[in-house]
Amino acid sequence: DGGITQSPKYLFRKEGQNVTLSCEQNLNHDAMYWYRQDPGQGLRLIYYSQIVNDFQKGDIAEGYSVSREKKESFPLTVTSAQKNPTAFYLCASSNPGQETQYFGPGTRLLVL
């Protein structure tokens, strides 16, 4: 089956800890995206990547980092600098220039 997978489904972070959220796609899409969603709110763009080894900051990149070493993978690290990380994180992919994005099931991050 083609699609986007995210893991884990739930993730717990301790104070001062960095955590990494996984996103993998087998749709052969060039572009990948990370969004953050807070309760009752829309999606906000954290980072996006249009091609391997290249990525751009979105609207709320502070406290986050990404890498794009492979076309199918776009992991997101939530660093200790992100003071309010509790949220639902969504990964998406598309072909550049297309508005249709395909989303993964999401990872819910909670702070202990």
Nearer to other proteins, 85 or 104 (CB): 104
d(CA 71, CA 32): 9
d(CA 6, CA 22): 5
- 11 part of the interface to other proteins, by CB under 8 A: no
User: How far is residue 56 CA from its own chain's centroid?
Assistant: 12
Segment near other proteins (CB under 8 A); pick from 14-22, 60-68, 71-79, 87-95:
87-95
Q: C-beta of 54: minimal distance to other proteins in Å?
A: 11
- 111 part of the interface to other proteins, by CB under 8 A: no
- 99 part of the interface to other proteins, by CB under 8 A: yes
Pure H helices in 6-57 = none
